[in-house]
């Protein structure tokens, strides 16, 4: 009922997102206002979808219906994929979840932090007077 109507409305707004080119240069004031209103409705729809995802209410039905109504590329652009949901649900900055050089890196070994600090200090200050007696 109401949930399905909301999903359909969100899908329509997402489709509008993929069709718009984003520049206001050739638009009249009325067209600019309409475009801004559509942008705000899309933002509100994304907020509602994110809130429902956080609550977990109707999650399976909502995802199925959205997948039926919207193209996969549109869902990807709107950050509504399963991977995006996993990132939102994990209490860790996105950059740390997606950057393989950070995720796959083992913890620093003894002395590695000190060596990196020395390297940074020399690049910043052009001197090698880093106080190596500081604890790691």
Mean pLDDT of the chain: 75
The reported pLDDT for the residue numbered 25 is 65
The reported pLDDT for the residue numbered 87 is 86
Of all residues in the chain, the percent with pLDDT exceeding 70 is: 67
Burial code of 42-81, b = ≥16 C-beta within 10 A, e = fewer?
Answer: beebbeebeebbeeeebeeebbebbeebbeeebbeebebe
Q: How confident is the model at residue 18 (pLDDT cuts 50, 70, 90)?
A: very low
Q: What's the sign of the alpha-carbon dihedral 104, 110, 112, 118?
A: positive
Compute the radius of gyration of the chain from its Cα atoms: 23
> Which of 38, 32, 37, 31 minimizes the C-alpha distance to 15?
38
Q: What is the pLDDT of residues 66-80, one digit of tens each?
A: 778 888 888 888 888
CA geometry: angle 55, 17, 87, nearest 5 deg = 35
């Amino acid at each position: 009922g109401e949930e399905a109507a909301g999903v359909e409305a969100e899908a329509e707004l997402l489709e509008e997102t993929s069709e718009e080119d984003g520049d206001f240069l050739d638009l009249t004031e009325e067209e600019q206002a309409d475009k801004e209103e559509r942008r705000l409705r899309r933002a509100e729809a994304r907020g509602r979808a994110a809130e429902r995802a956080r609550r977990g209410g109707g999650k399976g039905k909502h995802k199925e219906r959205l997948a039926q109504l919207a193209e996969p590329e549109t869902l990807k652009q709107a950050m509504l994929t399963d991977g995006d949901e996993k990132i939102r649900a994990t209490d860790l900055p996105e950059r740390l979840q997606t950057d393989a050089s950070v995720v796959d890196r083992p913890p620093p070994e003894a002395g590695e932090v000190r060596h990196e600090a020395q390297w940074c200090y020399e690049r910043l200050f052009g001197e090698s007077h880093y106080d190596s007696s500081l604890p790691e």
